[in-house]
Structure 1
């Protein structure tokens, strides 16, 4: 909870420092990742696996050997593990997917349990000679309240298998439970999870326009102390390449999609604006040029990360015992975004009714509006210049709850910014489009208990950079000759937590890829490709001694090198078991607004 009791603090600090003393070694703490084979065409990513706590684990299979040939959902059942107790230090979702060699699109994949999303991502595309396979992991400890009871779930992975599209996708998934012990105490997981999905079985909801919303009416317990919303917004269909779009007035001239490039997630409670989130520009393995993503896909392409929004200032409102409408929308949606979310709540176990109030909300009434600077020119059919789109807004949302341990005040200040500059060079010999985009978040949350309580401050900074260029060259008859493409994409997250001026925890995550390829054409059809190369670099560090680095390079569709330990002492990866090196939110442990 926001402030732990003495027994809870003692067990956690014993576990923390006991593990630092006994477990911070490469053998014990280095994340276990699939092996790499230089010269292989199989999937190769630099992302870390989920670090595991000490102790024996129990595994519960969700499904095994599912095959996905059509758009039917695949249900499964879940029962809590036997012999692992009910107190867990960590729960990890593991899944393995594969697709047979042949022709197949990238497909969206999602796993659901009790209507809640526990995995969201896309698949690797195969080739005529390569049948790729890949492994994903996700820390799902925050779903402990859901996992304590039998549940039904389903895997959703729509696919088409026919005479043209021949790739059959298969998959298996399981949950791995780690019982709490003195070196790995029980996680302070949320007391309840409320899915925002398509019905009780789960599923994303399609938002086709900026006015569409995913809305669910919830009646929560009357003793909510903290609340967080994880949101996913995946561009599909006309919004798959939303970052390449220009305003409708320039779409014909730029020969690009309309609707503009500004996208932002909006969250409201009973119509009152409650938070915003940037949209990550995920690029699927068939995106722009499929060869760029073989064998290393884009950032988070196979395993999306949610954006976690702090709704704690609204706790007093949610505690009134009345139904409340929680809604998610996407500004600028233009057919369509697949959206889902999970609301996590922590309860005051010492009081059945918690009262309080919201004291500030400067987000309410702010419009999500971007400015556009159009510098395109058209001289006799030769188009050049740029279109720059910018949006930024700052806001403060604050509130308090009177808990069994005293008043807890939460004050959230955020600045969310977006910029997208597109350049064009269009003439009879070429079509060239360039994109330079950056979404950023600067968030500061101050939490204080009691009139004399010391303020605990958490700060988070996000960067979502995307730089891309792509186009076509034409011969004198107007036929496409080549299509060169290049993409640099990143995800950066810096977190810090201070008690007064004392630094409690800091972590830094940086995940980036740089890739390029050129498609060659003969008689209007792709006849080959040249120059494929990519480098993915992943870095993680914290102030407790954890460090992870991995560099993966490819050329001509094959892995050329995979090097560990970049940026780490003695070039060795070391990860404490409770860290989130992938950059996923962790408000139940290291990023808890309590001491630790």
Structure 2
């Protein structure tokens, strides 16, 4: 992706494991397992890695030290491990990437197997003196059913290497399989995994506008009892900076990209609205001002987390033996979003046929149309000030039933989704300033019940705050400065309840604050940058005693401070191996035992 000022926007510029699962993981914040060296200019993040169960894993290498110098895919063959059986307590993807020193844009990176996405993220940009390297992990336990079979995979990192763009990207990836044991039992994984899209090996689909969709018609088992859709929606090209865009009628006036700044992923089944997934405002390592993200990138920039949509109310409908279209679109898409999704299905193993229907769906008839407001005003001297506001709140309930071996199970998803954005502009002869304050929020309750009393529910809250202050000042000699400060947050709370009583809670807070100033001469050439600094704070805790705390700060492109474990018992991070401190979907703690 291009840095913002070069992209044409704006002016110049659960039960058993409690008793038996005694293992805790230290939850290291980086690949090496040791604290990074103060002063390093290599990539450093506060994010936890995937906690591991006890035991020695079997390792399957997907590819090793592959170079990415063009837009061709890098294929690989996969076979399940021969010495670890087919029941695993956990499956973890590990990948390591690097890019040689020089000039190179950030690039989208993805790994695939049998059409299913294993990893999605972007790459770190290098500098003339720094060849950055980084490590990513993803919990793939829920995809166990697919991983029991051999398949074809591919790595995709489109890259250009020539006399101008010299950075060569290298990558390696492997899967770690932890055998199930008494103290680390196998997870109750989905019984079937279905990739959306037409590519049998795997790739993203491009959605240019809100009517475009990623769709797959599937013939599903006749005994579906639960279903979930893991969704990725990544902004690209003209949509890369969607969070700073304005409605078309104001674009020329404030010198910004059009199309508005509301984006949301919409899920449908057979054309009927079935759920929504908020779009996270990821900022890539070349975004707005590349120095903001050296050496610490923005929230999840190198390793996106999918958003899981609960489609369980549709279980009875999906079990009727007819083909069903599952589709994904992006409201507000304006050229373009890269998307992928994976459907996860649980079956009733004691019934060949499940019957049921949707009984209530109030999402139908609630289009994702935000309300726009403006106080923009221009005075007699041509100076412009004022705000553009974008707001949308929707509340809906989707309910259905499925009758199988446990009787009639009624499932519902109740959700409130909110988007609130204020763009504040100050534009005159010497100043172009745009201040963005955005908050995306989702509150949901997924509930399943058998009879009048036996109820299991999962409550979730997610908040994605974003602040961007871009302040460009022009001096009397024609030189200018462009100061940027940003704040990103990823805040979630999850809670499982049984008969109304909480049995598991988990909280995540991941924030990144960055600042830098670019300085240009009168010809528009970059002369220097000043004041680079950033800070990341990552917090995780759950009701089983997990505690993870890591804080870091950077200055002038180098790590300035790093502290981990402070505030946890004994000043050490300890995370239960079944926890998901990275924010990835967590099904092990959300099991419905019927």
Q: TM-score, normalised by structure 2?
A: 0.95
SS in 1 for 2:252: helix
**Per-residue deviation at 1:594?**
3.8
Distance in 2, matches of 1:469 and 1:484, equals: 8
Contact 1:109 / 1:122 at 8 angstroms: preserved in 2? Answer: yes
CA displacement 1:233-263 (0-9 Å, x = unmatched): 1110000000101111110111101111111
Q: How many residues align?
A: 576
Contact 1:357 / 1:401 at 8 angstroms: preserved in 2? Answer: yes
Question: 1:485 aligned to 2:484?
Answer: yes
**Per-residue deviation at 1:501?**
3.3
Counterpart position of 2:428: 427
Larger mean CA deviation between 566-575 and 171-180 belongs to 566-575
**Per-residue deviation at 1:497?**
1.0
**Per-residue deviation at 1:366?**
1.1
Alignment CA distance shift 1:535-1:198 (3 Å): farther
Counterpart position of 1:511: 510
Contact 1:317 / 1:358 at 8 angstroms: preserved in 2? Answer: yes
Question: 1:529 aligned to 2:529?
Answer: yes
Contact 2:484 / 2:517 at 8 angstroms: preserved in 1? Answer: yes
Distance in 1, matches of 2:189 and 2:373, equals: 46
Contact 2:30 / 2:44 at 8 angstroms: preserved in 1? Answer: no
CA displacement 1:293-335 (0-9 Å, x = unmatched): 0000000000000110000101111111111111111111000
Alignment CA distance shift 1:101-1:79 (3 Å): same
**Per-residue deviation at 1:480?**
4.3
Gap regions ≥5 residues in structure 2: 1-13
**Per-residue deviation at 1:452?**
4.5
SS in 2 for 1:257: coil
Counterpart position of 2:232: 232
Distance in 2, matches of 1:249 and 1:29, equals: 52
Distance in 1, matches of 2:130 and 2:153, equals: 31
CA displacement 1:110-129 (0-9 Å, x = unmatched): 00000010100000000000
CA displacement 1:140-169 (0-9 Å, x = unmatched): 001101100001000010000001000000
Distance in 1, matches of 2:105 and 2:227, equals: 38
Distance in 1, matches of 2:280 and 2:519, equals: 30
Give runs of aligned pairs for residues 391-410 of structure 1, distance below 5 A: 391-410=392-411
**Per-residue deviation at 1:400?**
1.2
Contact 1:411 / 1:445 at 8 angstroms: preserved in 2? Answer: yes
Alignment CA distance shift 1:321-1:90 (3 Å): same
Contact 1:16 / 1:184 at 8 angstroms: preserved in 2? Answer: no
Counterpart position of 1:442: 443
Distance in 2, matches of 1:155 and 1:16, equals: 38
Counterpart position of 2:30: 33
Contact 2:27 / 2:50 at 8 angstroms: preserved in 1? Answer: no
SS in 2 for 1:288: coil
Contact 2:206 / 2:337 at 8 angstroms: preserved in 1? Answer: yes
**Per-residue deviation at 1:352?**
1.3
Q: TM-score, normalised by structure 1?
A: 0.95
Distance in 2, matches of 1:33 and 1:169, equals: 20
Counterpart position of 2:158: 158
Give runs of aligned pairs for residues 145-544 of structure 1, distance below 5 A: 145-379=145-379, 380-449=381-450, 451-476=451-476, 479-522=478-521, 523-544=523-544
**Per-residue deviation at 1:96?**
0.1
Gap regions ≥5 residues in structure 1: 1-11
Counterpart position of 1:3: none
